[in-house]
Amino acid sequence: MHKKLIPLVAALACIPAIAAAALAPYPAVTDQRLKHPEPNNWLSYRGNYAGWGFSPLKQINAANVGKLTLAWSYATGMQEGHQAPPMVNDGYMFVTTPNNQVIALEAATGKELWRYKKALPPELQQLHPTNRGVALYGDRLYLATTDACLVALDAKTGKEIWTKQVADWKAGYYMTLAPLAAKGKIMVGSSGGEYGIRGFVAAFDAKTGEEAWRTYTIPAPGEPGGDTWPEGTYKHGGGSVWITGTYDPDSNIAYWGVGNAGPWMPDTRAGDNLYANSTIALDVDTGKLKGYHQYHYNDAWDWDEVSAPLLIDMPYKGRQVKGLVHAARDGYLWVLDREHGGKIGFVAGWPYVDQNAFKSIDPKTGRPTYDPARRPATGKTVQFCPSLWGGKDWPPEAYNPHTGLLYIPANNHLCSELTGEPTKYQKGQLYLGVSLQNVLTNVRMTDKSRKSIGEVQAWDLKTGKQVWTHTYPEMNWGPLLTTAGDLVFGGGTNDRMFHAFDARTGKLLWQFPAPSGITGVPSSFEVDGEQYIAVQAGWGVDAQRMQGAFDAVLEHKTVVPQGGTVMVFKLAH
């Protein structure tokens, strides 16, 4: 070899080593790390077990967020709703997309490391073709899929380690949630209430995939709560679980939100219909039901209460409360108490959006009294507020321990009209009791909703006072992130904007036009001393269906571009 080429060859030989050294070896995600997540990482669906959606990072703050700029972006190649948070573990980023893809990226640069796609049965009809993220645990990732499988992947390579069929997709079971990992178990729930499934939460051994326990959300006859259902109806009673639970490591109890009962019309299933429309408390070791709180009984409005409550400890009216806080689809903001042994006590509840279906709530138990004129039933046409998508649908609220405020992505002033119809269960077919055409055109405008609908609200839970509100002309389907830099981030609007607000005042400080509307969960992380804000754009699923309902009743039509993009922002230097 020519002597002059030797240094060049030596340099070229070093390139793979340099590239490989760009990321340190993948660090295992332990129970201890999940209990006390490092500020620079985003290891779970909402950043911590309490479900706060809070980042302790503050390099990006209210004073400099105006300098936020796009660091990199990545087109996922997928259509429909991109709702998963970018999860980050020491420089490794993982996102999921519709059609059960997992993509591993270098968090600081966007370089693709690997991509996994779960093959789906060709005859599977996806009612909600989305995915809300993976669970990180050990050196593996766990994915829940729309054909009702739980998949374990090698976090370093994307190689499939094991796959377990969790439920029968031909009967309408499907999964869209990010699994919850704790104490050697991977916990999931199932969607499919629209098809007459019987909801459950199930836990699987993280190493082997063997099922550890399964707890149904709809009790059978002879089980506690089984007498709240007419004979035989529990088998198709809904109560789906499609949002990740929260977890209290000190009590070893996970809290899960449970969807509405099925079919939708309440006269078809007389009774309270436990544990639909509830938060349930489950022992993570055994799956035993330790407690529950039902927000509203014998639901008539499709008000799923699937969002798990946030764990927020706080003083309230002279006593310390180990709180469970839930901005409910029924339009009430609920504060509950994590009592000893897993029981759930009622503390307070009040409407955070226009609500005309409840006349009052019991001050001791929180049980509502209904206005019968606002109760849809078979053969009746009824208008009610909030709409069937609720005061807040699945997009998660956020809590900032520095400001002490809870932030809610709300839809206010919006109402629905439903006409109940007879229905009969058929395996794998819609089991609603309302025509699909009625669902797609259900919204009814009021004078207020013609001015504004979508809101970002900030609440002081200690006083029950609303501190600030930012309004949007139309809907808000934007999950929220709040940071120690006194910021609140969220998208959710049909103008494709990603927004940053002053967490204390609500002032809009920055916004960025994404390629598509944003219904993804934002996250924040740090690599080499640089803070980043990450989110996926990709409009679809229920946000698009609400847009279709708006288009049916408004004079103008709105087209929101499709297509998924991972976007990562940092401060311009």
Residues of the binding site: 132, 176, 194, 260, 302
β-sheet bridge partners, residue 470: 456
Phi then psi dihedrals of residue 193, to 5 deg: -55, -30
Spatial CA neighbour of 177 closest among 190, 158, 165, 194: 190
- Report how far residue 96's alpha carbon sits from residue 83's, in angstroms, rounded to the nearest whole number: 8
Buried/exposed code over 400-417 (b: 16+ C-beta within 10 A; e: otherwise): beebbbbbbbbbbbbbbb
β-sheet bridge partners, residue 311: 324
Whether cis (ω within 30° of 0) applies to the bond prior to 263 is yes
- Report how far residue 258's alpha carbon sits from residue 255's, in angstroms, rounded to the nearest whole number: 10
- 90 counts as catalytic: no
Phi then psi dihedrals of residue 126, to 5 deg: -90, 105
- Report how far residue 564's alpha carbon sits from residue 541's, in angstroms, rounded to the nearest whole number: 13
Edge-to-edge order in the sheet of strand 68-75:
68-75, 565-571, 530-537, 523-527
- Report how far residue 43's alpha carbon sits from residue 536's, in angstroms, rounded to the nearest whole number: 17
Do 471 and 508 meet the contact criterion of CB atoms below 8 Å apart?
no
Buried/exposed code over 207-227 (b: 16+ C-beta within 10 A; e: otherwise): eebeebbebbbbbeeeeebee
Do 273 and 237 meet the contact criterion of CB atoms below 8 Å apart?
yes
CA 94 centroid distance within chain: 17
Provide the token pair at 1. Answer: 């070899």
Do 157 and 199 meet the contact criterion of CB atoms below 8 Å apart?
no
Provide the token pair at 467. Answer: 């501190």
Helix, strand, coil percentages for the chain (3-state, nearest 5): 10, 40, 50
Residue type, 119: A
How many other C-beta atoms can be found within 10 angstroms of the C-beta atom of residue 16?
Answer: 9
Pairing status of strand 454-460 against strand 530-537: unpaired
Active-site choice (248, 272, 299, 302): 302
- Report how far residue 125's alpha carbon sits from residue 146's, in angstroms, rounded to the nearest whole number: 9
CA distances to 327, 386, 499 from 519, in Å: 18, 20, 12
The annotation places the binding site for pyrroloquinoline quinone at: 132, 176
Spatial CA neighbour of 92 closest among 112, 107, 78, 102: 107
Place of tokens 């408004």: 554
Provide the token pair at 130. Answer: 């989305």
Active-site positions read: 302
